[in-house]
Amino acid sequence: MSLINRVVIVGGTHGNELTGIYLVKKFERSPQLIQRKSFTINTIIANPKAFEIGRRYVDTDLNRCFQRSCLQNPNLASYEAQRAKVIYSTFGTGGSQQADLVIDLHSTTSNMGLTFILASKHPFDLQLAAYISCVNPKVRILCSAPKTQDNCYLDSICQFGCTIEVGAVAQGVLDANLFQKTEELISTILDYVEIYNHKASIKIKDTFTIYQSIKTVDYPRNEVREIRAMIHPRLQFRDYEALHPGEPMFLTFDGKEIIYEGESTVYPVFINEAAYYEKGVAMSLTQKIQEILPES
């Protein structure tokens, strides 16, 4: 594989997720913190107008605007559609400053701890995930690769991409502990790229744990699509913990339990994420698997 020549660190894809925004600002003040010898690093606040007004987005979710069909559509004129086109034409494949790796920084109201999201199971991505798992075993590795190649997420704009999610942290709020942990994880990723570029030998385990997304689950709703139940208290804040068949998932407003009716144990993530109410997502169900690294 070719070398990684340019890495782009993105904050503020969502304007009310402050961890990534203020890390980018910090890196722009002190670029030596992220400087490495074998590749160039750029930073960008993806949605500055949303940050200015303290909202997730202005017109539409920027992190759903990167499908190639959308980028090539001249009739899409929302603020986020225009920002996506600018970002892609700069750092996307064939762009004026084409990136080889994008690191997209996010925070979540769910109790996700420190999560590294794989954009694909390309050998580079898997090796990076395995390295992260060795350096910091507390980082969870989540794989939610889209089913089609026409990916709507920002981390799909170039050959390699990844997303960091940290939580639980409220929208529009900074958490110093999670801020520092995110910075450390970024440093770990950049260290790996340096090792990769120098083709240095590295000792990592052949297997590591991945949480593989299966499907999303909506809140129970009535005939007019109003939510009729909440996340069950026994499930709230239990991201990455096992949910067994027959255990409660939701609690109706009059106190009735709604159980998980699946046939196998799953591991919910993004439980009760505030931004996902509008998307009809109460949680994402994952399988916990042992990923075997491909032979190099």
What pLDDT, in 10s, does the model give residues 24-69?
Answer: 999 999 999 999 999 999 999 999 999 999 999 999 999 999 999 9
CATH class of 214-286: mainly beta
Alpha-carbon span 243 to 248, nearest angstrom: 9
**Band of residue 71 on the pLDDT scale cut at 50, 70, 90:** very high
- Among 274, 180, 202, residue whose Cα is nearest residue 231: 274
DSSP secondary structure string for all residues of 186-206 = HHHHHHHHHHHHTT------S
From CA 89, how far away is CA 67, in angstroms rounded?
Answer: 13
As a whole number, mean pLDDT of residues 140-164 equals 87
Residue of higher predicted confidence among 150 and 285: 285
Identify the pLDDT of residue 7: 98
Confidence of residue 202 (pLDDT cuts 50, 70, 90): confident
**For residue 214, what are its two tokens?**
């299966």
Residue 146's pLDDT band (boundaries 50, 70, 90)?
Answer: low
Tokens of 253: 């407003």
Report the half-sphere exposure of 187 (CA within 13 A, side-chain side).
Answer: 13
Q: Is the pLDDT of residue 296 over 90?
A: no
Are the C-beta atoms of residues 134 and 205 closer than 8 Å to each other? yes
Q: What is the mean pLDDT of residues 283-293?
A: 96
pLDDT greater than 70 at residue 209? yes
Backbone CA torsion sign across 118, 121, 127, 133: positive
Q: Are 199 and 4 in contact (CB under 8 A)?
A: no
Architecture per CATH, 6-205: 3-Layer(aba) Sandwich (3.40)
CB within 8 A of 47, min separation 6: which ones?
A: 12, 13, 14, 15, 57, 58, 62, 80, 83
Q: What percentage of residues in the chain have a pLDDT greater than 70?
A: 98
Alpha helix (H) ranges present in the chain? 18-29, 48-53, 68-71, 79-91, 123-135, 176-197
Task: Report which DSSP code applies to 31.
Answer: G
* Placement of tokens 């904050």 in the chain: 11
Say what the pLDDT of residue 221 is: 97
Q: What value does the mean pLDDT take over residues 201-229?
A: 94
pLDDT at 269 over 90: yes
Cα 274 from Cα 110, distance rounded (Å): 8
> Averaged over 111-123, what is the pLDDT?
94
Q: What does DSSP assign to residue 293? A: P
Check: pTM over 0.75? Answer yes or no.
yes
Dihedral sign of CA atoms 138, 199, 143, 294 in order: negative
pLDDT tier, 108 (very low <50, low <70, confident <90, very high otherwise): very high
Residue 18 has pLDDT above 80, yes or no: yes
Tell me the torsion sign for CA atoms 208, 262, 240, 139. positive
Q: What is the chain's mean pLDDT, rounded? A: 95
Of 34, 32, 26, 30, give the one whose Cα is nearest residue 8.
34
Residue 247 — φ and ψ, nearest 5°? -85, 150
**Domain definitions of the chain by residue range:** 6-205, 214-286
pLDDT at position 147:
57
Distance CA 266, CA 239 (A): 11
pLDDT at 148: 60
